[in-house]
Amino acid sequence: MDIQLEKKKGLRPKHYAYIAIGLVVAFAAYKIIWSSSVSTFRTEKDKLSISAVTQGKFDDYITINGSAAPIATIYMDAYEGGRVTEKLIEEGAMVKKGDIILKLENSNLYEQILASESNLALKQNDLRSTKLTFDSRQVEGRKSLATASYELTRLKRNYEQNQELYKDGLISKEAFLTAKENYELSLKQHNIVKIQTEQDDKMRRTSLAGLDTDLNRMQKTLSMVYERLDHLNVRAPADGQLGFLDAEIGQSINQGQRIGQINVLTDYKIEAEIDEHYIDRVKRDLNASFERNGKTYNLRLRKVYPEVRGGKFKVDLVFTAEKPENIRAGQSFNVKLQLGASSDALLVSKGSFFQSTGGQWIFVVSPNGTEALKRNIRIGKQNSKYYEVLEGLQAGEKVITSNYDTFGEAEKIVLK
């Protein structure tokens, strides 16, 4: 009996169709599952700022707001304390160096000056008396030396004459010895007077030199005392504008107290504050400029202040050429500070998204414009218009540059 063999089954064309349908269904199910697992935020497209990523020239500058200030400010402190008796110049007025602004009075200072004058006068008289004493002693010394010289000459002549007479036997030996002893005594006295006179002269020269120095010092001290009186007149230390004056008639001013300032208006500078983000890149001698009435004015960064307050640090800029006409202290300018040379780069328009992401990621809009997905990026430099993109984007792509705070933790934005 013949056994009928069962025909082996294999893949037929209709089986391939089933497999393809199954794969499509599986992929669709995966998309549905993945979409449901991604945090999504829906919003209207018109409410967002969307910009295209472009390739272009990146100008390495920042725009800062600055205000004009006098090139220098000189503060006025009271050299002497006192009560204000007269106010001659008001705030805002132009002054010349040496102009009297305030007049003070100080009765204690007057008494101190009178006492100092009396003491100095007494000391000067004492020094003059000492000098006169030295002069009198010098005269007496010279007179004593002259007398000793005269006696020495007379006794020497008498001794020599008696010596000849004694040799001839005309006088006694006692008379000869007496003449000799008188001569020798006179010689010793003469030498003593001479030595004393020479020492007195040396002492006089040394002492008088010191006395003259003391007199000159005392005279200078007296002059300084008189200057204290003049300091009761508060004068302008330089030409300029009286910026402020903290003094009224009848007010008591302490020594060293700040009472005003002079603004030197021979030139101006621009004071500005910069975000601490740029603190490592802002250096002295950087170039800057601003436009006013269609004209560009060039500046140079002269000083960078080291303190950071409220997330900002202060800088001073000065004009390198002409400055605007009728410039006034406090006038505001938008200054373009050049941090480096221009270069070709991938650019993204500045937007408030940076405050939400710190420039570490951004939402990239799909080609069909229906959604935007979160993508990591790396941003380099920035200026007032653009961010320099180093990684994560390509030219032609579109990104959301408006604020992300309303998106929460969403990784996908559906655009309606």
User: How far apart are the C-alpha atoms of 37 and 305, rounded to whole Å?
Assistant: 52
Q: Which residue has the tokens 């700040």?
A: 258
Same fold, 40-58+343-415 and 61-69+262-338: no
3-state secondary structure of 261: strand
Tens digit of pLDDT per residue, the chain (416 long)? 445 545 445 555 555 566 666 665 555 554 554 444 568 888 888 888 899 999 998 888 888 999 998 888 889 999 888 999 999 998 888 899 999 999 999 888 888 788 878 877 887 787 788 788 888 888 888 888 899 899 889 999 998 998 988 888 888 999 889 989 999 998 999 899 889 888 888 887 787 777 777 777 877 877 877 888 888 999 998 888 888 888 899 999 999 899 989 988 888 899 999 988 888 889 999 999 999 888 999 999 999 998 999 999 999 999 998 888 888 888 999 999 988 888 888 999 988 898 888 889 999 999 998 899 999 999 988 887 889 999 999 999 999 999 988 888 888 989 88
- With 0-12 / 13-18 / 19 or more C-beta atoms within 10 angstroms meaning exposed / middle / buried, residue 287 is middle
- Beta strand pairing status for 312-319 and 100-105? unpaired
91, 93, 98, 99 alpha-carbon torsion, rounded to 10°: -90
Structure tokens at 117: 């004058």
Q: Which residue has the tokens 């007494």?
A: 122
Would you state the pLDDT for residue 375?
Answer: 92
Q: What superfamily in CATH does domain 61-69+262-338 come from?
A: Efflux pump adaptor protein, beta barrel domain (2.40.30.170)
Would you state the pLDDT for residue 36?
Answer: 47
Most distant CA atoms of the chain, gap in Å: 210
Dihedral sign, Cα of residue 252, residue 257, residue 261, residue 262: positive
Which stretches of 168-266 are DSSP H helices?
173-230
Domain segments of the chain as ranges: 40-58+343-415, 61-69+262-338, 108-217
- The Cα angle at residue 277 between residues 348 and 286, in degrees rounded to 5: 90
Would you state the pLDDT for residue 122?
Answer: 80
- Beta strand pairing status for 412-415 and 40-43? parallel
Would you state the pLDDT for residue 229?
Answer: 85
- The Cα angle at residue 288 between residues 282 and 290, in degrees rounded to 5: 135
Backbone dihedral angles phi then psi of residue 5, each to the nearest 5 degrees = -80, 140
The reply to whether the predicted model has a pTM over 0.85 is: no
Structure tokens at 393: 């984007």
CATH topology of domain 40-58+343-415: 2.40.420
Dihedral sign, Cα of residue 228, residue 229, residue 233, residue 238: negative
Would you state the pLDDT for residue 1?
Answer: 44
Instruction: Name residues whose C-beta falls within 8 Å of residue 102's C-beta, 6 or more positions apart in sequence.
Output: 84, 86, 87, 88, 233, 234, 245, 247, 259
Nearest to 371 by CA among 43, 129, 118: 43
